[in-house]
Structure 1
Amino acid sequence: MALKLPSLLLPLLLQLLLLLQPGASDDNDFVFNGFLGANLSTEGAAEITGGGLLELTNTTGQRRGHAFYPAPIRFKPSPPGSPFSFSCVFVFGIVYNDTQLNNNSIAFVVSPSNKLINSGGGGGVRNGTRNNSTDNLVAVDLATADSPDVAGFDENTIGIDANSVRSVNTTAAGYYAGGNGFMNLTLSSGESMQVWVEYDSRDMRFNVTLSPSKVEKPRIPLMSSTINLSEIIKDKMYVGFSSSTGLLLASHYILGWSFRMNGQARPLNMTALPSLPSLPSPPPFTPSSPSRPFPPPAPDKPKKYLALWWSVGGALMVVLAVTASAVLIMMRKKKPAAAAPREEERWDMGYGPHRFSYRELYAATGGFKEKELLGKGGFGRVYRGVLPSSNMEVAVKRVSPGSKQGMKEFIAEIVSIGRLRHRNLVQLLGYCQRKKELILVYSYMPNGSLDKLLFEGRGPGLSWYQRFQIVKGVASGLLYLHEEWEQVIIHRDIKAGNVLLDSDLNGRLGDFGLARLSDHGNDPQTTHVAGTMGYMAPELTRSGRATKATDVFAFGVFLLEVASGRRPIENQAAEGETVLLDWALSNWKRDVIGECADPKLMGEYPPEEMELVLKLGLLCSHQLPAARPTIRQVMQYLLGDFPLPDVTATYMDMTLLDLPNEEMCPLTVSSPTCFSTNSLLYGGR
């Protein structure tokens, strides 16, 4: 037995030695905890530094670098079929000479070749000016600057590129930090960050997750897209990294890398990874041209001139002080009565929001820096900020002086929501007025606006449960505005873009710049047409009068877009599907209303809830204002307190033209008294 022991231990020792190497394991499962001694195929500026970093580009401008695992990896079975699932983890860092400047990008690449000689554009992967339909490239791009040659890329953006210069999905860099919501990250911060790239071939689900290197993998991916890679991925492909720089100086590094086919990539040993070089200090100042030396110091003046200057200066100071005192006394004697407050400030005295100083908001947003920008539109820009006094995160809405939201709307928003308190309404914390500049301060909603998740693919996709809770939450907030507050508030701009999501993905209705108030029992006094195309009730174009019913109409369109994942107007949609409301009504008439469900939900929803939301959306969006349910009835239907009425196609087809004076026909869902038979409402499908 003593003779056999070494022979038994030898394979175990060899296996242990392999695991200790930088690039351990076979071609389908490898890990590099640093790259000292690693065998990689490099090209361009890429090289392995003495400290074990994979440096893709150095501080030379306009350079590209590529580094690939040396052997091709089989991505499809034999005989060929659908591609395998795969998983990748890597840590990267971008170091600039000037951290305020940005540059191009870095990319993880799956390519049929380990040579990208003719590449350019994002991450040095492709040239955006040509057709790439035959490139068979898949890439995850981390762009630190606008990429004019790669469509869809802005500064500090991550995107999935599947064989096209137009990315399948792009989103701002950041991560979901549990209860703290979405946290922004700056790719060019000089700090190391970790990226997880995962493709599930069964569901065709492509996930990308990002976090600081010291933070564990977030449970919610940054991006999640459905992509069919069958026609893009070849039988064998190379995996690696590509990077490019522009005119600015930067170094792009990979600190560690793990990859696995048909399984979860092994985690990196973060303590074993090499360190990023620190940001270089600015060089000491030296004169730019020795031929133009600094002038020699002037010779000392005689002391008698100094005494003279002191005497003259002292006399002048005395004269100025006496003059200033005299002017002050005269002004006090002639001081007029205090001026009346300006009209736009009188509302200020009776309402609750706090008035912030401009200095405080300037400091909170870092001087309204672009990296803190949350969104922008015709009204102006919204920034993320942290109040210095309380360390509270806030959203700061800076209204453009020439925007459609001027002083009148600014006052309306403060008066409307300054004292509102409801868990499904965005809380206004205060305001600031500086000369002609108007600023509003809200509670910060870390998950942004609902339309970004529904239509732009930012962040994780919303489940049906989350969508149904958001719908009920917004309905509850609207009920509070219409019936439960001390006055009636007509919102006038209900849409997915004005629904914000807090850290728990609760829906909160915001943006009250178009809101109108009235006492209960009275109509709001407005004849100005306002709202967003696709959400505006048809009677608004006739009378211009906003009512509770016009809010309900917009809420109905909102229900349809949440259930279908479509915008109210899709110009690129197929014929007959451009207008969401018309398309949904057509499907309902054909008894296939379920076909309106968002395909991204993959059928994972209770059919009865989906049908309820779609049919209720159509009922709320009826052409006749009196035929729409009240928001209280809507809430009862959503909570299941009452069943949704069964209506007929004839009932849904009625328009304003069928009713010359709808004021004289108080049609409601519960009592259709204006029609000769109740079968219009209850005898249908």
Structure 2
Amino acid sequence: MAGAIQFLSLWMLASVHAISMVLAQDGNHFVHYDFRKADLYVDGMASTKDGRLKLTNSSKRATGHAFHRTPIAFVNSSFSFSTEFVFAIVPEERTSYGQGMAFVVFPSIVDLRYGAATSYLGIFNRGNDNKTENHILAVELDTNASSEALEESDNHVGIDVNSIVSVESKDASYFDDTVGMNRSLVLASKQRIRIWIEYDGENRLLNVTLAPLETPKPRLPLLSRSIDLSKIFKEQMFFGFAGSTGWGKVVLHRDIKASNILLDEDLNGKLGDFGLAIFHDRGATFEATRVVGTIGYMAPEVTAMGVANEATDIYAFGVLMLEVVCGRRPVEPERSPGQKILVEWVASCGRRGALLDTVDSKLAGNFEAEEAMLLLKLGMICSQIDPQKRPTMKDITEYLEQKKRIPHISFDTAAFGIPIVPIISDETVTAQGSALSFASFLYDTITVLFRGR
């Protein structure tokens, strides 16, 4: 490699921590084993409190940056450089908010402050993405599928030039020299992975290579891209890391109910009718311009504020479980007071120690009491008024498979989301530009489906 050679070595560990860094530039060496003593610019979620560089934490939809304050001079058009670091991305136990991280070379520290979270990885934003004046090179380690069609993998490595859409990307893997074949790597596996990023300025070639920590450097890179970085870099460039959190995209069904559950020939349930579903950022709250759903299945925050997220579907699923066990609709206006609303009735029976009295009488006692109790308690836990206290679907699966003990539940009705029931008898209610007779809210535009379609 001709020209000045810059060498950078970093370690990344546990939720993306950097441990050591070595930089050689024109014969000068910079060594940072304790990042508290390093001359770094750190912002957002990034931290060096214990000497390691931690880019991300459990914050949702946030960013973290860490860059060397001293820029590198790229005055020779045939410059070459290489960087090597070890990283480990550790998802949270409950759920992962991680989006990924990237090694970045860029002209101004200030520019990165406006990098957006989620798929933008804290580097770009909607306004500056894909602009030639960015002068940015990034090698991304992405742990969530991008909304861009070119990057559908949730476990890929990409080369980015002035845009979050990679000029080249591949699923994470390494070439195993001992068997002469590629082996897959999971980026968010808690395992330490080494990466080499090398640019040959004489041949205008950028190589990116990965391998497990204990594996020698493979002879074949994962990515090899012909590119002239002298046309992208300015004479002074900064280097460092960016990371972001964000769930990617999820489907909010918004109308989970018994009539939308289909059974196959083996009586396995399948969720159908996605007519009200939306594709939305994971972990973000969707604020609707109109309220849609079915009375009895809609979470309190939907009817009161028109907001929806994964927790609102969890509420509906909880009501569905109660409906299956009890053999009753979520709302039955013709019943006596105290029994009209299923969640409220189950809670009242639970308070007096008669939870099993709610089981469908048509079963005539032919059921496993322990299984019925599990479903009833789980249905009520999913129906809690506080969305943050509702379990995730992962939790629900582990409870049903008895891999995790279901938490204690209090049957105080104040803790549960009691549906707001309109004073109507029609199957469907639609109000446009007028108030609707609900107990505690007023909407200018509202569409509510009552007792199914």
User: What TM-score do the two structures reach when normalised by structure 1?
Assistant: 0.32
Q: Which has the higher helix share?
A: 1
Q: Which has the higher strand share?
A: 2
Task: Name which structure has the greater RCO, CA cutoff 8 Å, separation 6+.
Answer: 2
User: What TM-score do the two structures reach when normalised by structure 2?
Assistant: 0.47
